[in-house]
């Protein structure tokens, strides 16, 4: 299975599965034209994942503790219904079952409203929760909101980032 969590012009995450006597194994490799710059507040591999709580597109509360003893991929993205974000969400939708087979749950996070998330999730039949982080508390905790550069212009925005959190609540990979 090849899974692109980010647009092809940026970094990508490849998920390969191999079934053996012991079940599934997961190998993660990142590739890209230019690596994303690290933010000093972004949690690093091996650190505890910052706790979070937020409302999903259905208006339900969700938190890190809901995924205790489970693997979790949290992907932060700039905006619903934009080309790159739609491509990313639809790719995750298309590989949702394969990720579930590996025991990985998915959560998307942006600063769009619950209402915008609801329309986006319905329009593209997204089977995973999208957290409406309108006050950017979760983005701050994960270091995914900050200075970005596009076409030579610097501005503040959401850094497209994915965190893979293991069953012990530790960051296993940052992409």
3-state secondary structure of 174: strand
Rounded CA-CA distance 164/175 in Å is 8
Q: How many angstroms separate the CA atoms of 5 and 23, rounded?
A: 24
Contact 71, 104 (CB under 8 A): yes
- Decide: residue 54, CB within 10 A, 0-12 exposed, 13-18 middle, 19+ buried: buried
Q: Does the active-site annotation cover 90? A: no
Q: Of 5, 6, 73, 85, which one is the catalytic site residue? A: 85
Catalytic residue IDs: 85
């Amino acid at each position: 299975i090849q899974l692109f969590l980010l647009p092809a012009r940026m970094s990508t995450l490849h998920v390969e599965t191999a079934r053996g006597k012991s079940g599934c194994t997961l190998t993660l490799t990142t590739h890209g034209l230019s690596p994303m710059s690290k933010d000093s507040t972004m949690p690093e591999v091996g650190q505890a994942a910052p706790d979070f709580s937020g409302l999903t597109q259905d208006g339900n509360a969700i938190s890190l503790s809901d995924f205790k003893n489970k693997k979790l991929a949290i992907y932060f993205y700039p905006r619903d219904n934009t080309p790159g974000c739609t491509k990313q969400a639809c790719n995750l939708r298309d590989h949702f079952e394969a990720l579930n087979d590996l025991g990985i749950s998915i959560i998307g996070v942006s600063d769009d409203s619950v209402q915008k998330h609801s329309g986006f999730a319905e329009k593209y039949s997204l089977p995973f929760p999208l957290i409406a982080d309108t006050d950017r508390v979760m983005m701050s905790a994960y270091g995914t909101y900050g200075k970005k550069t596009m076409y030579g212009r610097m501005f503040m925005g959401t850094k497209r980032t994915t965190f893979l959190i293991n069953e012990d609540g530790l960051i296993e990979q940052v992409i």
